[in-house]
Amino acid sequence: MNTPFTEEERRRLLDAYFRDQERAEELDYELATMVGKAPETLSQELDALRQRLSDARDQYRLNVPVLPLSRCPITGQVAYHSIDPYGLDGFWWDNQVPIRPVEALPSTFIMVLGALRLGPRLEKTPFPVRPGPEAPYVVPEVLSHPQVKAVVSTVRVGAHTAYPVFYYGVDWEGEIEPMNNWGSNHWSYLDRNGDLRYHEYGAVPVSDDSYLEGLEVDEGEEEDEEYTVDYDLRRWVEEGKLLWIEPGDQTMTLREGTSGCPYLDLPGSRVFSLILDEERSDDVDTEES
Amino acid sequence: MAKTNMDDQELEMREYLVPRASVQPLLTSFSVVRNRLGEVFDLPKGDAGQATRWWQGQKPDDQIVLRQALTAMASPVIMSDITIMRGDQGLVQTTLVKESLRVDDPAFLVGTDQGGENLRLRRLQSPEVMAGTILMYLEAGSEPGLAEFKFEVSPSEFLVLLATLDLHRRSYLISLLEHEEMRPGMKLEDVQNSLSDGLQYPDPRWLVPFVVPILPEKPQLDWNALWQAVQSLGQRGLVKLSGDNKELTLTEAGALMATEMLRKMTQVRIASLGYTEDSRQASQTSFFIRGESLIWYMDVGAESVVVAAVDLDKAGELLVELFKPVGAPPVAAPVKEAPGAARAQPATAPAPTVQAKPKVRYCPSCGQPATWIEQYKRWYCYSCQKYLEQ
């Protein structure tokens, strides 16, 4: 397998994985419901399958593309972030157990959110995918911090068009609670000291608070920040808070101002998507902010 | 004489060995964005399959650092060639590259192994680590003294002065060997020979050969130029000509410098390439020499060289400034520029921390001034993104 994997290599890996996973589930059920002592061969087969599944996940993590997705307006650095650009059926997009490498990002990185305009067909995903709404948005509570800027860009994901929005800043810690990274149920990256920064169940937009379901909140525990979303990018671009990268620009050149900005008034649903098994649904609370 | 890179005792940090031939293929397969400065690294095309196999043999934790190093090499905002000579024994050569404009962000040291097959990479928490290391070498175990000493000379005068100091040192060593007293006077003819030797033999233990590699052009000083330089050095109070104009002696100021250079403990050469805030290419060349009791700083500009004795604190400040990026280089165009398209401007005005160098070679293809890349001893044209024929 190449690093990063090719589309064909990825397809083979995923097909084999899903096949093994299905067989493992069958065996698991069979063994759990079997009366009497289970044949040794079934247990051995299940063990072997589990090992293969684990190896496949490792292979995926090691070889998933890490692409230039953004550029920090403060450090000037290109931000390389992992992403599975071949489709939503890759483990990268698994909202519950996203398989991603440790991200090494500019020291100014705060978080990455995103949107995804759905293409003509959806992938068969055996796990929930939460790629955001179809149009890019910003989080005013974060972006209005005086030391924070965001950058919106474009990347193809299979038949879809994705819009990652990276937030960068200085002196923001203690004042901003980062939100779960795009499509993921946690926030993490490697800071400039080489230490892993990790936070699970961080703040999410109010229209995507399904993660709170079933969670017990301790009395007196500080509640997560309530963040809203703003799809009207014009004023943020005008204020110089939101910069943009021309779709297809391999140099990742930062651009400012509304003139020629292709991200204003983009079509698409303003409701967060939940994708599962080739079907899209609104992601729980669909309140507009 | 051992030619080495930083060893673990000098900089306590992990070193990564990367096959040079793997770098280009990895940059390509990782879709790494390159800028004009990153193209200065002269790397072979390499084989993609071999590069992938090498990469996959690295530990995942190492891959994180290696990926950062590769992107820093591809898109540096500053690139500093650093050469450190300690005493007359160890020569340390490395290149500091930094990808972020944020001053205290990490940087990488890029060197090559003895055979030139592998790059030796080290991650620095910030360029200040390198500045601190150089400062440690300059301190050399004993607190340097203080002296009010500062003068400015032309590049030609600077070279003649260094040739004189080399000659003085050579005469001193010969007098020791021959059990003779050292003659105070030096023949102008011998100064010229000292200069010629320095230009001919790249022995970094002597001042002229240590300095010459990062000068924009190998200087050719004829007798008249030498004579004029000596006259100017005389006017600046560094040397004194004999009545018959055939010999020179050092003045008190010149003798102080010469005595210092006799027992120099460390000499450091730093040539930084970077960009100004308005994306114009710029460079700065500096030397630090730890003499017997003083630290000498030499700032080589386009028209003049400033020589000054500095204390340790000042040396530290200067070093930090030398590694401080000012502006971002233009990104390397993924497709060839159309004829008449806007080109990168040559360095003209000095930035706050970088000075423009004279351009003495021009690209035969586009006519733009080329830049001397010390690391590869070649001229590079940023407009055409290629090295000039030698």
ipTM: 0.87
Site from B22, B50, B68 to mutate, A interface, most A CB atoms within 10 angstroms: B68
Pick the residue from chain A with its C-alpha nearest to B76: A77
Considering CB atoms only, which of B63, B328, B332 is closest to A76? B328
Q: Quick one: which of B350, B375, B348, B351 has its CA closest to B359?
A: B348
Among chain A residues, CA nearest to B124? A193
| 3-class DSSP string for chain B | CCEECCCCCCCCCCEEEEEHHHHHHHHHHCCCCCECCHHHCCCCCCCHHHHHHHHHCCCHHHHHHHHHHHHHHHCCCEEEEEEEEECCCEEEEEEEEECCCCCCCCEEEEEECCCCCEEEEEEECCHHHHHHHHHHHHHCCCCCCCCCCEEEECHHHHHHHHHHHHHHHHHHHHHHHHCCCCCCCEEHHHHHHHHHHHHHCCCCCCHHHHHHHHCCCCCCCCHHHHHHHHHHHHHCCCEEECCCCCEEEECHHHHHHHHHHHCCCEEEEEEEEEECCCCCEEEEEEEEEECCCCEEEEEECCCCEEEEEECHHHHHHHHHHHCCCCECCCECCCCCCCCCCCCCCCCCCCCCCCECCCCCCECCCCCCECEEEHHHCEEEECCCCEECCC
Report the mean per-residue pLDDT for chain B: 85
How far apart, in whole angstroms, are the C-alpha atoms of residue A160 and residue A119?
Answer: 4
pLDDT of residue A125: 94
Structure tokens at A200: 């699970």
Tell me, what DSSP letter sits at residue A194? Answer: S
The answer to whether the beta carbons of residues A162 and A114 sit under 8 Å apart is yes
As a whole number of angstroms, the distance between CA B119 and CA B23 comes to: 9
Do residues B226 and B312 both lie within one domain? no
In this structure, what token pair is assigned to residue B260? Answer: 């210092």
Structure token digits, residue A84: 């599975």
- B31·A68 Cβ contact <8 A: yes
Residue B336 lies in a domain: no
* Structural domain count, chain B: 2
Given B262, B284, B309, which residue is the final one in a domain? B262
Round to whole Å and give the CA distance between A249 and A215: 42
The confidence band for A173, taking pLDDT boundaries of 50, 70 and 90, is: confident
Whether residues B20 and B118 fall in one domain = yes
Residue B43 lies in a domain: yes
Instruction: Tell me what the mean pLDDT of segment B39-53 comes to.
Output: 92
Q: Are residues B160 and B34 in the same domain?
A: no
Contact check, Cβ <8 Å, B64/A104: yes
Residue of chain A minimizing CA distance to B67: A104
The answer to whether A117 and A159 have CB atoms below 8 angstroms apart is no
Last residue of a domain, one of B214, B243, B262: B262
Express as a percent the part of chain B with pLDDT over 90: 62
Q: How far is A4 from chain B (nearest CA, A)?
A: 7
Q: Which residues numbered 118-137 in B keep a CB inside 8 Å of some CB on A?
A: 125
Separation CA A163–CA A117 (nearest Å): 8
For residue A4, whether the previous peptide bond is cis, meaning omega lies within 30 degrees of 0, is yes
pLDDT per position as a tens digit, B322-375: 999 988 888 876 543 333 333 322 222 223 333 333 345 667 677 666 776 666
pLDDT of residue B368: 64
Least confident of B55-69, B130-144, B214-228: B214-228
| Partner residue facing B55 (CB), from A3, A107, A251 | A3
Judge: A250–B33 Cβ closer than 8 Å, yes or no.
Answer: yes
Preferred mutation among A2, A74, A75, A243 to probe B, highest tally of B CBs within 10 A: A75
Helix (H, G, I), strand (E, B) or coil at A218: coil
Count of other CB atoms within 10 angstroms of residue B193 = 14
Contact A250 B328 (CB under 8 A): no
* Contact state of A250 with B334 under an 8 Å Cβ cutoff: yes
Extract the tokens encoding A189.
């990256």
Range of lowest pLDDT (A271-285, B20-34, B172-186, B331-345): B331-345
| CA B155 to centroid of chain Cα atoms | 15
Looking up residue B250, the CATH number of its domain turns out to be 1.10.10.10
Residues within 8 A of B (CB atoms), A 4-33 only: 4
Mean pLDDT, residues B144-157 taken together? 91
Instruction: Write out chain A residues lying below 8 Å of B71, CB-based.
Output: 77-78, 80
Distance of residue A215 Cα from the nearest chain B Cα, in angstroms: 33
Q: Are residues B306 and B193 in the same domain?
A: no
In this prediction, residue B91 has a pLDDT band, given cuts at 50, 70 and 90, of confident
Instruction: Round to whole Å and give the CA distance between B100 and B7.
Output: 26
Nearest CA in chain B to A72: B100
Question: Do residues B135 and B270 share a domain?
Answer: yes
pLDDT, position A205: 55
Where b means 16+ CB within 10 Å and e means fewer, A77-112 reads bbbbbbbbbbbbbbbbbbbeebbbbbbbbbbbbbbb
Cα B31 from Cα A85, distance rounded (Å): 13
Nearest CA-CA partner of B291 in B142, B187, B163, B150: B142
CB-nearest partner of B100 from A104, A106, A253: A106
Distance between CA atoms of residues A192 and B72, nearest Å = 14
Same domain, B177 and B78: no
Beta carbons within 8 Å of B104's beta carbon, 6+ residues apart: B126, B128
What six digits make up the tokens of B385? 């993104």
B210 and B238 inside one domain: yes
Residue A57 has, within 13 A of its CA and on its CB side, a CA count of 14
Whether B29 has its CB under 8 Å from any CB of chain A: the answer is yes
CA–CA separation, A202 and B377 (whole Å): 53
Domain that holds residue B311: 3-140+266-322
| pLDDT at res. B333 | 62
Q: Is the pLDDT score of B144 beyond 60?
A: yes
CA distances from B118 to A7, B42, B109, B242, B326 (A): 31, 13, 13, 54, 30
Given this model, what pLDDT does residue B342 score? 31
Mutation to test the A interface, candidates B56, B65, B102, most A Cβ within 10 Å: B102
Chain pair A-B, CB pairs under 8 angstroms:
73
- Cβ of B102 and A75 within 8 Å? yes
Q: Please check whether residue B81 lies inside any domain of the structure.
A: yes
Q: Is B57 on the interface with A (CB under 8 A)?
A: no
Q: Which two tokens stand for residue A205?
A: 């937009």
Query: Is position B384 within any domain?
Result: no
End residue of a domain, out of B231, B262, B293: B262
Task: Give pLDDT, residue A204.
Answer: 54
Report if residue B353 sits inside a domain.
no
- On whether both B21 and B53 belong to a single domain, the answer is yes
Query: What does the alpha-carbon distance between residue B41 and residue B111 come to, in Å, rounded to a whole number?
Result: 11
- Chain B residues whose beta carbon lies within 8 Å of the beta carbon of residue A107: 100, 102, 105
How far is the C-alpha of A84 from the C-alpha of A157, rounded, in Å? Answer: 7
The answer to whether B77 contacts A106, with C-beta atoms less than 8 Å apart, is no
Same domain, B293 and B241: no
Asked if B196 and B285 sit in the same domain, the reply is no
Residue B389 lies in a domain: no
Residue A288 has pLDDT above 90, yes or no: no
CA distance A49 to A59: 15
Q: Is B215 a domain residue?
A: yes
A185 φ, ψ to 5°?
Answer: -105, 20
How close does chain B come to A151, measured CA to CA in Å? 17
Q: Report the range of poorest mean pLDDT among A66-80, A204-218, B147-161, B348-362.
A: B348-362
Helix (H) or strand (E) holding A16: helix A7-33
Q: Which residue has the tokens 């960068």?
A: A168
Task: Indicate which of A6, A67, A74, A78 best probes the interface with B, i.e. most B CBs within 10 Å of its own CB.
Answer: A78
Same domain, B120 and B57: yes
Strand partners, A81: A67
A68 in reach of chain B (CB within 8 A): yes
Domain co-membership, B7 together with B134? yes
On whether residue B72 sits in a domain, the answer given is: yes
Instruction: Give the span between the Cα atoms of B280 and A141, in whole angstroms.
Output: 37
Q: Does B101 touch chain A (CB under 8 A)?
A: yes
Q: Is the pLDDT of residue B256 over 70?
A: yes
